[in-house]
Structure 1
Amino acid sequence: MNLSTVSALALIFGAGTLSGASALAQAPVPASQIRALNLARNTAVTENGGLSVYRPQPCMFKTSDGGGECLVQDDANGYTFNFLGGQPGWPEDGSNPTTETELQVAPDGRSVTNIIYNGSPR
C-alpha cells in the first residue's frame, strides 16, 4: 500500500466517522422551549416564596436539553412541566422535596397558561 492509498483510506474512513457523529447529534432545543423552561422555573420560584426558601429540581436548570425529564408534554397546547422542589440544597444534601409543581406554558414560551398543581408531592 502506498502513501496515497493510505491517505485516501484515512480520508474515507475519517469522513464516515464524522458523518456518523453528525447524524447522532441532537437537534437544537427551540428557543420557545428554553423560554418556557425559564418561565416555568421562575414562576415556581415566585409561587413558592423565592430562592431564599425554595429551589426547583435540577432538571429545571438544564436549558441544553429543554428541561429533560421535567418536560412531560410538548404539543400544540404548549409545554407542560412537572417537577419537584424544596429548601435550598435539598437534592444535594439528600433532603426530601416538599413541593411538586405542574404547569403549562404557551407554545411561544412567553406566558404561563395554567398552574395545574402546586403543593405537596403527590
Structure 2
Amino acid sequence: MLDYFKNKDVGLLLARIAIGFPMLFYGVGKVINGIEPIKEMVVQSHLPGFLAYGVYIGEVLAPLMMIAGIYARWAALVFAFNCLCALVIGQSSYLFKLNDFGGWAVELLVMYMLVGLSLFFTGGGKYSLSKK
C-alpha cells in the first residue's frame, strides 16, 4: 500500500506549485503597485535601477513556468537567483535575526531559494509541459 504513494513526479509537481504559486503573489503585487520600492533598493545597493525589472522575471515569469513545467529546470534556477538577490539586496539586515516567533527572519526566502535549487538539479518531473 505504501508503494502506491511513492511517486517522485507527484512530489516534484507539488514542490513546483508550493513555491511557484505563493511567489506569484509577490510578483503580481509588484505589477499592480509598481516597481519603484524595488528600484530604490537596487539603486541604494549601487546597482543600475533597470535591474529591478528582473523581479518581474523572477517573481512572475519563472514561477508560472515552474508551475506549468515549461523549462522548469531553468525557471527554477532563475527563481533561486531572484531569491538570492532579494536576500542580498533587500533582506541582508535580517540574516542574523529571529522573527517574532523565534524562527529565522529570512527562513521563507531561503526555503524558496533552496527548493528552487533542488528543482534545478532534479528537473520538473514527468508532470511537466516540457519534458527532456
Give TM class, smaller chain: under 0.3
What TM-score results when the alignment is normalised by the length of structure 2?
A: 0.24
- The structure carrying a bigger strand percent of its residues is 1
Please say which structure displays the higher CA radius of gyration.
1
Higher relative contact order, chain-length normalized (CA < 8 Å, sep 6+):
2
- The structure carrying a bigger helix percent of its residues is 2
What TM-score results when the alignment is normalised by the length of structure 1?
A: 0.25
